[in-house]
């Protein structure tokens, strides 16, 4: 899968991308991340990428020309003379606090594409014509405002890449993740069997895999019930799951009485 990142701060990307799993994924040709400097697509003497807002007010606004030029050249899409979305099968995603809020299901959706473009905003804002006439999707990573879209772009690349075949060492790696099944993940333990008086639950040392699977499922259900009950509304639940949750609720009510 190929990511085309458009940014005014290309130097932000290598340190994260050249580490650990994403580094290995690139070396093995599973992902490719091309980082494009929007400033390289300016043709004036001072390589200006921002300007003051029409109508006044503070802050600077990202100019449309270099962003259109960069995206159209890299994706090889012909410039539109009139307004309207470009004819592109590649999602052109703007990272912005105004976008749909990123989650595991959007990561999965994006992982189906062979190539996606990510545009990182900077300054106080971007010229609205970028949003209206170039971008095909807008993603926010949460209800807070950062200084730019670079961290959000890295976050999207990370979450999408680890869903691709063979990126994680363990072939079932992404299947049991928190959120992958619509539940939070069960607790994990490794050696030593006892640490500062706290023991690993006996069931995990029992070697009984049916019992371990049941315990893990129940732990995942209980964690989700306590920490993120909103997720249970969308999760796929079996009859046994529902019975277990009903019992939890009953126990909770008894405690209150």
- The answer to whether 72 and 42 are in contact (CB under 8 A) is no
Residue 97 Cβ, how far from ligand ADE at the closest point, in Å?
4
Strands (E), the chain: 2-7, 32-37, 50-51, 61-62, 92-101, 115-120, 125-126, 137-140, 194-195, 198-199
Sheet strands side by side (includes 92-101): 32-37, 2-7, 115-120, 92-101, 137-140
Active-site entry in 39, 91, 97, 217: 97
Residue 175 Cβ, how far from ligand ADE at the closest point, in Å?
27
- Residue 177 annotated as catalytic: yes
Q: What sign for the dihedral angle of Cα 37, 40, 46, 49?
A: negative
Residues 190-229 that bind ligand ADE (CB under 6 A): none
Residue 232 Cβ, how far from ligand ADE at the closest point, in Å?
26
Residue 253: how many CA atoms within 13 Å on its side-chain side? 6
- Residue 28 annotated as catalytic: no
Locus of tokens 């106080």: 124
- Residue 86 annotated as catalytic: no
Residues 136-165 that bind ligand ADE (CB under 6 A): 140-142, 144-146, 148-149, 152
Among residues 96, 111, 161, 224, the one that binds ligand ADE under rule CB under 6 A = 96
Give the span between the Cα atoms of 139 and 149, in whole angstroms: 10
Residues 102-131 that bind ligand ADE (CB under 6 A): 121
Residue 8 Cβ, how far from ligand ADE at the closest point, in Å?
13
Give the span between the Cα atoms of 209 and 204, in whole angstroms: 9
Span near ligand ADE by CB under 6 A; candidates 24-32, 73-81, 93-101, 237-245: 93-101
- Residue 97 annotated as catalytic: yes
Nearer Cβ to ligand ADE (18/124): 124
Active-site entry in 40, 51, 109, 124: 124
What six digits make up the tokens of 234? 């969308």
Give the span between the Cα atoms of 141 and 98, in whole angstroms: 10
- The answer to whether 220 and 167 are in contact (CB under 8 A) is no
Q: Verify binding: residue 59, ligand ADE, rule CB under 6 A.
A: no
The count of chain residues that interact with ligand ADE, using the rule CB under 6 A, is 13
Span near ligand ADE by CB under 6 A; candidates 21-29, 72-80, 95-103, 245-253: 95-103
Residues that bind ligand ADE (CB under 6 A): 95-97, 121, 140-142, 144-146, 148-149, 152
Q: Known catalytic residues?
A: 97, 124, 162, 177
């Amino acid at each position: 899968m190929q990511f085309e990142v458009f940014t005014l701060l290309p130097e932000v990307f290598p340190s994260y991308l050249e580490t650990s799993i994403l580094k290995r994924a690139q070396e093995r040709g599973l992902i490719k991340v091309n980082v494009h400097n929007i400033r390289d697509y300016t043709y004036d003497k001072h390589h200006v990428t921002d300007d003051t807002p029409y109508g006044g007010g503070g802050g600077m606004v990202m100019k449309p020309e270099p962003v259109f030029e960069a995206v159209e050249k890299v994706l090889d899409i012909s410039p539109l003379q009139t307004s309207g979305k470009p004819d592109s099968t590649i999602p052109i995603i703007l990272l912005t606090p105004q976008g749909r809020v990123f989650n595991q299901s959007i990561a999965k959706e994006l992982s189906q594409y062979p190539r996606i473009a990510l545009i990182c905003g900077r300054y106080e804002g971007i010229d609205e014509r970028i949003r209206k006439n170039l971008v095909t999707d807008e993603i926010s990573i949460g209800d807070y405002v950062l200084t730019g879209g670079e961290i959000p772009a890295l976050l999207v690349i990370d979450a999408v890449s680890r869903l691709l075949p063979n990126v994680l060492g363990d072939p079932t790696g992404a299947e049991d993740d928190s959120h992958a099944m619509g539940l939070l993940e069960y607790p994990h333990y490794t050696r030593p069997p006892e640490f500062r008086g706290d023991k690993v639950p006996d069931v995990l040392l029992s070697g009984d895999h049916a019992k371990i699977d049941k315990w893990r499922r129940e732990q995942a259900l209980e964690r989700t019930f306590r920490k993120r009950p909103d997720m249970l509304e969308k999760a796929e639940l079996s009859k046994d799951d529902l019975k277990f949750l009903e019992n939890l609720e009953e126990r909770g009510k008894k405690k209150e009485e």
